[in-house]
């Protein structure tokens, strides 16, 4: 009996020692069961409040850019300027975007995120108020410059935050709402373009800008970036610093100064291969989008004999842009984003050739709408690829760089279109678009394919 007890005691001691050796340490990221349901509800509600403010900004951003195309012929008539001169409105907007890229990094170190975003949303009050009075053309260009600063400042911040979310759906929906705003704008602008006081169109945009300021001020007033990120469920800078750099799930490291999503790696980003490549792709992609939306009405009027209602062609184009960003998601998932982009580029080139050589107003209008739907998914796909290819430690800065290049492209390519049209006629729009889409295909070929794993996505090189 004693030997049996001693044997059992020895087995229990050995079993206890083994359990101590193989015991799995407690996972530090477990859910706190003691959290009150009301706290979880408040976090969810605050998340959607922030997302709603971002979505409304994207809609206003679309309103700002979508109405320029139908008004360009009226600009030429009212100010008595040629294609090259009227294209200066796009250049002025590009200069505003470049200025915003510089001051974002400077003020981002000194001001809170909320201060920059709210202050930027005040600028359109001056711009749209002056534009509504139909000032001299030089003053009108200055107003485009002011609005370029405003929307570029906010656009970089919003894209940077949405790119940090674990899902890409909010970013894609935001860009769909940009398309929705760009769809509504030509409907309104076409009506105003036929009125004596055509410039009153900008009073509509002034009202939309007032709503944008109100939503941003209400949601972000006096709040720092870390506080906003925590409420959205994104780890703050403090928690990120405690995470290993080798952890594939570690979030992006922000600047210790809780201020803004400024491109802190300003000197590092241009040396990375993927970021400048995607930025160049975005420069051309967004430039093509705006060039078509801005000049297609002039093309239809001058080359296809369209009347005053030709502005609705721009509406159809932006309707396709908004539709494509939402409706073609299943195509992106079925084919893979890389293959889908090649398909979209090929179809756009084919449709542009039909607009170039088929002299039919209706056929050209339908082709423009389909082209819009095919171009729509490209920018969200670029943002998705950036999340997978760019190191997470540089993701925020990369998103800012890519978005800024898109803003610049949205001004420079339409200006180039105007310069060519001034020399060769507006028919030069189509060969320029075909050439740019071909270049897009070559650039996309250089973007490496990626495959997704459980925790991250890696480039296949």
User: Residues 291-318: pLDDT tens digits?
Assistant: 998 899 999 998 888 887 888 898 899 8
Give 241's pLDDT tier (boundaries 50, 70, 90): very low
Residue 202 burial by CB count (10 A; 0-12/13-18/19+): exposed, middle or buried? Answer: buried
How high is the mean pLDDT of the chain?
79
pLDDT given at position 252: 39
The answer to whether residues 211 and 56 touch, using CB atoms and an 8 Å cutoff, is yes
**Residue 373: pLDDT above 90?**
yes
**Residue 365: pLDDT above 80?**
yes
pLDDT given at position 354: 94
**Residue 263: pLDDT above 60?**
no
Question: What distance lies between CA 424 and its chain's CA centroid?
Answer: 33
pLDDT given at position 45: 77
- DSSP-derived letter for residue 198 is G
Give 264's pLDDT tier (boundaries 50, 70, 90): very low
Handedness of CA 413, 415, 419, 424 (dihedral sign): positive
Query: What integer is the mean pLDDT of 314-327?
Result: 88
**Residue 290: pLDDT above 80?**
yes
Give 325's pLDDT tier (boundaries 50, 70, 90): confident
**Phi, psi dihedral angles at 133 (to 5 degrees):** -90, 5
The residues spanned by each domain of the chain are: 41-235+260-449
Which region among 25-39, 120-134, 399-413 has the lowest average model confidence (pLDDT)? 25-39
Give the H/E segment covering residue 425: none
pLDDT given at position 453: 43
- Pick from 372, 377, 373: nearest CA to 335: 377
pLDDT given at position 214: 93
Handedness of CA 217, 183, 200, 87 (dihedral sign): positive
Query: What integer is the mean pLDDT of 373-380?
Result: 91
Query: What integer is the mean pLDDT of 114-118?
Result: 85
46 vs 372, more confident = 372
**Residue 282: pLDDT above 90?**
yes
The pTM assigned to this predicted structure is 0.73
pLDDT given at position 299: 92
Give the H/E segment covering residue 231: helix 225-231
- Cβ atoms within 10 A of the Cβ of 460, count? 7
CATH class, range 41-235+260-449: mainly alpha
């Amino acid at each position: 009996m004693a030997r049996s007890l001693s044997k059992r005691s020895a087995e229990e001691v050995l079993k206890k020692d083994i359990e101590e050796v193989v015991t799995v340490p407690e996972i530090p990221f477990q859910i706190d069961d003691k959290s009150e349901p009301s706290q979880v509800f408040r976090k969810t509600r605050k998340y959607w409040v922030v997302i709603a403010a971002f979505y409304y900004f994207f809609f206003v951003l679309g309103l700002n850019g979508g109405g320029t195309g139908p008004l360009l012929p009226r600009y030429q008539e009212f100010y008595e300027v040629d294609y090259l001169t009227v294209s200066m409105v796009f250049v002025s907007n590009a200069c505003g975007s470049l200025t915003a890229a510089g001051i974002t990094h400077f003020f981002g170190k000194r001001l809170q995120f909320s201060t920059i975003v709210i202050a930027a949303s005040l600028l359109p009050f001056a711009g749209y108020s002056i534009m509504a009075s139909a000032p001299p053309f030089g003053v009108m260009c200055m107003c485009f410059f002011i609005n370029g600063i405003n929307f570029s400042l906010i656009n970089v911040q919003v894209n940077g935050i949405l790119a940090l979310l674990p899902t890409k759906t909010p970013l894609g929906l935001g860009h769909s709402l940009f398309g929705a705003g760009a769809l509504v704008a030509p409907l309104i602008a076409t009506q105003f373009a036929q009125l004596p006081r055509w410039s009153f169109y900008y009073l509509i945009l002034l009202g939309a800008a007032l709503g944008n300021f109100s939503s941003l001020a209400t949601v972000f007033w006096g709040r720092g970036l870390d506080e906003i990120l925590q409420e959205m469920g994104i780890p703050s800078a403090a928690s990120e610093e405690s995470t290993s750099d080798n952890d594939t799930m570690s979030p992006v490291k922000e600047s210790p100064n809780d201020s803004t999503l400024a491109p802190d790696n300003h000197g590092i980003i241009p040396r990375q291969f993927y970021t400048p490549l995607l930025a160049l792709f975005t420069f051309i992609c967004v430039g093509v989008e705006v060039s078509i939306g801005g000049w297609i009405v002039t093309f239809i009027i001058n080359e296809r004999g369209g009347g005053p209602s030709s502005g609705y062609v721009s509406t159809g184009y932006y309707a396709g842009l908004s539709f494509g960003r939402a409706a073609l998601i299943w195509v992106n998932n079925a084919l893979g984003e890389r293959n889908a982009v090649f398909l979209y580029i090929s179809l756009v080139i084919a449709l542009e050739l039909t607009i170039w050589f088929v002299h039919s107003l209706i056929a050209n209008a339908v082709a423009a709408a389909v082209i819009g739907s095919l171009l729509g998914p490209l920018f969200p796909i670029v943002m998705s690829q950036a999340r997978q290819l760019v190191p997470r430690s540089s993701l925020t800065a990369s998103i800012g760089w890519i978005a800024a290049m898109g803003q610049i492209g949205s001004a420079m390519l339409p200006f180039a279109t105007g310069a060519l049209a001034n020399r060769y006629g507006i028919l030069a729009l189509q060969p320029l678009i075909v050439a740019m889409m071909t270049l897009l295909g070559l650039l996309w070929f250089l973007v490496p394919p990626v495959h997704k794993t459980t925790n991250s996505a890696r480039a296949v090189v």
